[in-house]
């Protein structure tokens, strides 16, 4: 095995490098922190009993998510190419087979599919920034807020316009490259996102129902915990950490050699999980303060919360802040989801970055129109998991991401030789041994158990 060839300094990324460790952490945190934390985590926790789900989610993040993230970063840095080329290259060097490229390919496809519907929801956040700022929800009744939501999602032209606007913003950033585009964007948006989240948390603490929100999130109700809940927790861990979809591998390809993968991964996981928890602590007290249902599903943020904000002092201001926060979170994640496909097109077809980004953006926009129409024109077209939107969400979150993560961690733990992984993780001490045990045994077994129960 060519255990040191991949660390040859001659192997460099064709797309540039992060200027610092902090830039990488901000970029990966930005990719990880998104609608999955602020839009999806609260309503999934609400649907699965609150505290019990949160506990399982945290276990999945630490025991499975962390080793998979480390594996994906080390593979990306060692290959220094797009996920498809990296898996083919290292598969040949470490295991004598280029068939591993299909794992990278699945990650690229998963990113495209996720962003296709993610962009639609992100477009909603842009529309709701305007609605909030113009005082649409101030003093509005539940019926009026619901009418706003149904009227907006029922107008496919308006939803498509917002979807188009959001994809255009994402294309603009990614086309500018690693340092001028991705890095500059996350240096501003990630700190801004955290500040906005803390402002909302302070508002929620003063709602008078903060204790109820804390109790709901941290008091386990195991009677409501099912295998479906465990699958949802694992899928949510993969979704919020952006693992299994090629984004982290692509970002890892731009990571300087001297940066500690273990330290960077721990920082990202801590930041991402903290924001998911903060989102729940900011949202659930407002829900309880207005006697609303925390299990309201995808409409929790767009239907339930505007009602809560509309009944509170300063609600117009804080509602606007909240949806700006959502927009920033979605934007930083979207550029991470686009990057693997863009890098692949640049390297595979020798296109400029601008050309590759526009082509990728158009493909994602086109596929996303299926999700746009799922809420209106094609809302009655249901199969398997439900609408087109429901099926893409289920396929990516519950099947493709866990399967991709499983194959990535197996590759890093079993196919790559010990010297190669030790070289990338800078040592062979206790932390490396712990990662190796988790990557070789604990994470694969945990993912397999949940996947088997998902397809039974």
CB 174 within 8 A of CB 115: no
What would the mean pLDDT of 146-171 be, rounded to a whole number? 95
- Higher pLDDT among residues 207 and 328, named by residue: 328
Q: Is 449 left (phi over 0), alpha (psi -120 to 50) or beta?
A: alpha
Confidence of residue 370 (pLDDT cuts 50, 70, 90): very high
Q: What percent of the chain has pLDDT over 70?
A: 96
- Reported as a single tens digit per residue, the pLDDT across 389-437 is 999 988 988 788 889 989 999 999 999 999 999 999 987 788 999 999 9
3-state helix, strand, coil in the chain (%, to 5): 80, 0, 20
CB 219 within 8 A of CB 50: yes
pLDDT score at 340: 94
CATH code of the region 24-455: 1.10.4160
- Higher pLDDT among residues 101 and 312, named by residue: 101
pLDDT at 15 over 80: no
- Higher pLDDT among residues 34 and 69, named by residue: 69
Residues 6 or more apart in contact with residue 10 via CB below 8 angstroms: none
- Higher pLDDT among residues 292 and 138, named by residue: 138
Burial 392-424 (b: 16+ CB within 10 A, else e): bbbbbbbbbbbbbbbbbbbbbbebbeeebbbbb
How many of the other CB atoms lie within 10 Å of CB of 426?
16
pLDDT at 185 over 60: yes
What would the mean pLDDT of 266-286 be, rounded to a whole number? 87
Q: Is 11 left (phi over 0), alpha (psi -120 to 50) or beta?
A: beta
Distance in angstroms (rounded) separating the CA atoms of residues 282 and 205: 8
CB 70 within 8 A of CB 267: no
Confidence of residue 7 (pLDDT cuts 50, 70, 90): very low
Task: Write phi, then psi, for 253 (nearest 5 degrees).
Answer: -65, -20
Domain boundaries, the chain: 24-455
What would the mean pLDDT of 302-308 be, rounded to a whole number? 81
CB 302 within 8 A of CB 149: yes
Task: Write phi, then psi, for 386 (nearest 5 degrees).
Answer: 135, -130
**Cα angle at 268 between 264 and 271, to 5 degrees?**
140
Query: What are the structure tokens assigned to 134, written together?
Result: 């113009």
Give the chain's length: 456
Alpha-carbon dihedral sign for residues 346, 15, 69, 89: positive
pLDDT at 4 over 70: no
How many of the other CB atoms lie within 10 Å of CB of 312?
17
Distance in angstroms (rounded) separating the CA atoms of residues 16 and 13: 6
Distance in angstroms (rounded) separating the CA atoms of residues 357 and 340: 10
Distance in angstroms (rounded) separating the CA atoms of residues 376 and 396: 22
pLDDT score at 242: 80
Confidence of residue 454 (pLDDT cuts 50, 70, 90): low
Confidence of residue 6 (pLDDT cuts 50, 70, 90): very low
CB 344 within 8 A of CB 85: yes
Over its C-alpha atoms, the chain yields an Rg (Å, rounded) of 21
3-state SS class at 274: helix
């Amino acid at each position: 095995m060519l255990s040191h060839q991949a660390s040859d300094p001659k192997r460099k990324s064709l797309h540039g490098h992060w200027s610092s460790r902090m830039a990488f952490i901000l970029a990966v945190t930005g990719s990880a922190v998104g609608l999955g934390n602020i839009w999806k985590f609260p309503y999934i926790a609400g649907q699965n009993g609150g505290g019990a789900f949160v506990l399982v989610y945290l276990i999945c993040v630490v025991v499975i998510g962390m080793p998979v993230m480390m594996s994906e970063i080390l593979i990306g840095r060692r290959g220094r190419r797009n996920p498809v080329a990296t898996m083919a290259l290292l598969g040949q060097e470490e295991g004598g087979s280029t068939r591993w490229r299909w794992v990278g390919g699945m990650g690229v496809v998963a990113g495209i599919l996720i962003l296709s519907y993610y962009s639609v929801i992100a477009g909603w956040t842009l529309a709701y920034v305007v609605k909030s700022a113009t005082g649409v929800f101030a003093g509005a009744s539940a019926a009026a807020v619901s009418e706003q939501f149904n009227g907006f999602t029922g107008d496919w032209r308006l939803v498509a316009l917002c979807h188009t606007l959001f994809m255009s913003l994402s294309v603009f950033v990614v086309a500018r490259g690693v340092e001028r585009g991705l890095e500059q964007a996350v240096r501003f948006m990630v700190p801004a996102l955290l500040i906005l989240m803390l402002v909302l948390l302070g508002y929620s603490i003063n709602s008078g129902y903060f204790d109820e929100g804390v109790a709901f999130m941290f008091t386990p109700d195991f009677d409501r915990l099912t295998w479906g809940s465990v699958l949802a927790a694992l899928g949510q861990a993969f979704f919020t950490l952006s693992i299994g979809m090629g984004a982290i591998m692509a970002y890892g390809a731009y990571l300087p050699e001297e940066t500690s993968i273990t330290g960077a991964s721990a920082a990202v996981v801590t930041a991402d999980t903290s924001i998911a928890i903060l989102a729940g602590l900011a949202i659930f007290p407002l829900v309880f303060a207005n006697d609303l249902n925390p299990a309201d599903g995808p409409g929790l943020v767009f239907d339930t919360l505007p009602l809560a904000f509309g009944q509170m002092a300063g609600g117009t201001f804080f509602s606007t802040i909240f949806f700006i926060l959502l927009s920033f979170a979605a934007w930083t994640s979207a550029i991470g989801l686009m990057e693997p496909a863009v890098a692949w097109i640049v390297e595979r077809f020798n296109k400029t970055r601008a050309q590759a980004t526009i082509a990728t953006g158009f493909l994602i926009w086109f596929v996303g129109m299926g999700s746009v129409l799922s809420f209106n024109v094609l809302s009655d077209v249901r199969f398997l998991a439900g609408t087109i939107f429901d099926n893409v969400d289920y396929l990516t979150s519950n099947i493709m991401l866990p399967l991709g993560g499983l194959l990535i961690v197996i590759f890093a733990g079993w196919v790559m030789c010990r010297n190669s992984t030790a070289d990338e993780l800078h040592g062979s001490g206790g932390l490396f041994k712990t990662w190796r045990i988790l990557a070789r045994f604990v994470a694969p077994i945990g993912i397999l158990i949940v996947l088997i129960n998902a397809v039974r």
